[in-house]
Structure 1
Amino acid sequence: MSLSGKAALAGVIGWPISHSRSPRLHGFWLKAYGIDGAYLPLAVAPEKLESAVLGLRDAGFRGLNVTIPHKEAVMALCDQVDETARRIGAVNTLVFDGEAIHGSNSDAFGFIENLKEAVPSHDFTTAPGLLLGAGGAAKAVAVALLDAGLPELLICNRSPERAERLAADLGTRAKPLAWARRAEALAGVGLLVNSTSLGMTGHPPLDLVLDRLPAGALVTDLVYTPLETGLLAAARARGCVTVDGLGMLLHQARPGFQAWFGVAPAVTAALRDFVLGDFVPGGDG
């Protein structure tokens, strides 16, 4: 599709950026909806972050997605940051409004929308959940689950200090748990989430015996390379409902696309297939 001189422009900034599937994802929507616009991958070194963001704003871009390592640093450039992004402590979406820069975080939205689409009948309010990991993605997941009414969230991380800090940031319904107790903690949970890189292609497997996990629990893995991780395969064999992590990537892109291009996009089977068609292990965003 050829672009006019009035084409709407957006993109994703990161360092590096060649792994990102966001251009393929947004490109699919731009073509599907016949929009005069483009979405570009932009490699921005950390020391060039401010000049790049302000330069792209001044050049007429509608906004940007932000991926590693810029999600925290970019907050200082925002004139406004929404409440969810403040709680997570990171911004992944910028919208330019004249000279004003609005920052938000759609990772929590993408996570919960993926689960709701896959398992619309799941009630988050009836049982505790266990979250493996305490990094940036884990905090977005935790915020999403607590906002959905989860009564208690156990946070289990290989570095206990990070789990303790995350739990302290989230309030009384979040509790840290020693990594060695991860298997015994499965008894009675209604939801298990892996937000670590364990099980990802090129990384060590996730060592977790699921014998105590209730057969009716919902299990999801933020890893999507491979699409069915060892955790998901084991949970499915146990009779659990499983949800892969690709949908989080797809759904988190929706708010930015709507803000920049004026269309509320749909996550479809065709989109999943298209994004998977350019699958590069180890990518983010």
Structure 2
Amino acid sequence: MSMAYAEVIGDPIAQSKSPAIHGYWIDRLGLDAQYRACHVTAAGLEAYIASRRDDPDWRGCNITMPHKQAVIPFLDRLEIGAELIGAVNTVTRRHNGALIGTSTDGAGFLEPLKAHLAQKHLFRMARVLGTGGAARAIVAALAEQGFTIVLAGRNPAKAQAILDEIDPEGQHHAVDIAHFATFTDFAFDDRQGCFDLLVNASPLGMAGQAELAFDMSHVPPGCVVYDIVTHPLDTPLLKSARAAGFETLDGLNMLIGQAAAAFKKFFGVAPPREDGDAALRKILAQ
């Protein structure tokens, strides 16, 4: 008997927590469905999409590194948000067979910041580290919320191009990520009425990746430090920020938030989150 399924694809994929998240919700709702992980290399991406296109049980897939931009040529169209961002983290199939790319990363990223964003601020500034697909979604979401963005990458020209593509009218800045690696004695101005955010949107600090070289002297008073890495969950950046007295947000916030939006697209029902994801977090922390 056939069964509806969705999956997450990437390279590597073994570390993905998405099957645990979606599987938990599927079990809670008693759905006759599955969610699994599928290792797809860059060379195999086109063949993967072609093979799933004609599978009637396939409801779509989430996409993680390094395919968020590479998958776009193999899709039929992008939703408006994904078209602006230039990256996709979710693919679904319409009844006519068309494969649609979208991004739920931005909404998932902003979800734990709602209380802060509900307040009025004189100025909002975000320092965002990384220039990949997730960073593009985060930049778009923050620009929409009125942030001035400092985007840092190993290639400042690439960072500037992202800013120009996503928010060409914004007063944003691109810098080399190495700028943040060493101590600064910069005297931050009065931050009263301002909201500062530091985001690691890169894979640096993830298990198996290079460490993130970041000196906490670059973090202004009252800043919220947000690391989207989920393996390990408590990254060195978050530990340093917490030790220095900053509010921190871990990668499960964005991961669960974006997964909730994708789940509804795949299975046609909202996931159960009435406990604020407390039970799910316990499972994912094991």
Task: Give your verdict on TM over 0.5.
Answer: yes
Report how many residues are paired. 271
Pick aligned residue for 1:115 from 113, 116, 123? 113
Whether the aligned pair in 1 keeps the contact of 2:15 and 2:231 (CA below 8 Å) is: no
CA separation of 1:13/1:195 partners in 2, compared to 1, >3 Å: closer, same or farther? closer
What SS is found at the alignment partner of 1:38?
Answer: strand
Q: Measured at CA, do residues 224 and 45 of structure 1 come closer, stay the same or move farther in structure 2, by a change above 3 Å?
A: closer
Unaligned runs of 5+ residues in structure 1 are 278-285
Q: CA deviation at 1:142?
A: 0.7
CA separation in 1, counterparts of 2:40 and 2:149?
A: 36
- Which one of the candidate residues 23, 30, 37 is aligned to 2:33? 37
Find the counterpart in structure 1 of residue 260 from structure 2: 254
The match for 1:242 is 248
Matches within 5 A, 1:134-145: 134-145=131-142
Q: Is the contact made by 1:130 and 1:186 (CA closer than 8 Å) also made in structure 2?
A: no
Equivalent residue number for residue 6 of structure 2: 10
* Letter aligned with residue 86 of structure 2: G
Distance 2:196 2:254 in 1: 20
Report the Cα distance in structure 2 between the residues aligned to 1:164 and 1:229, rounded to whole angstroms.
27
Between 1:196-205 and 1:155-164, the stretch displaced more is 196-205
| Secondary structure of 2:216 counterpart | coil
- Tell me, in whole angstroms, the C-alpha distance in 1 between the residues paired with 2:121 and 2:283: 31
Q: Distance in 2 between matches of 1:16 and 1:230?
A: 22
C-alpha distance in structure 2 between counterparts of 1:185 and 1:194, whole Å = 21
Q: CA deviation at 1:202?
A: 4.4
Alignment correspondent of 1:196: 202
Matched, 1:129 2:137: no
Using the TM superposition, name which of 187-196 and 20-29 deviates more.
Answer: 187-196
Query: Is the 8 Å Cα contact of residues 88 and 133 (structure 2) preserved in structure 1?
Result: no
2:281 maps to a residue whose letter is: R
User: Structure 2 residue aligned with 1:148, among 133, 145, 148?
Assistant: 145
Q: Secondary structure of 1:211's match?
A: helix
Q: Is the 8 A contact 1:10 1:39 kept in 2?
A: yes
Residues 1:78 and 2:84 are matched in the alignment: no
Q: CA deviation at 1:30?
A: 0.2
Counterpart of 1:187 in structure 2 is 188
Provide the secondary structure at the position in 2 that maps to 1:46: coil
In structure 2, what is the equivalent of residue 26 of structure 1? 22
TM-score (norm 1): 0.83
- Structure 2 residues not aligned, in runs of 5+: 190-194
Deviations 1:167-202 (A, max 9, x none): 222323321124454356793571111223333344
CA gap of 1:68–1:143, structure 2 versus 1, over 3 A, is: same
In 2, the alpha carbon distance for the partners of 1:252 and 1:228 equals 19
| Matching residue of 1:168 | 164
SS in 2 for 1:91: coil
Identical pairs, percent: 37
Contact 1:131/1:155 (8 A) holds in 2:
yes
8 Å contact kept, 1:125–1:148: no
Out of 241, 260, 282, the position equivalent to 1:273 is: 282
Q: 1:213 to 1:22 in 2, by over 3 A?
A: closer
- Quick one: distance in 2 between partners of 1:212 and 1:56? 46
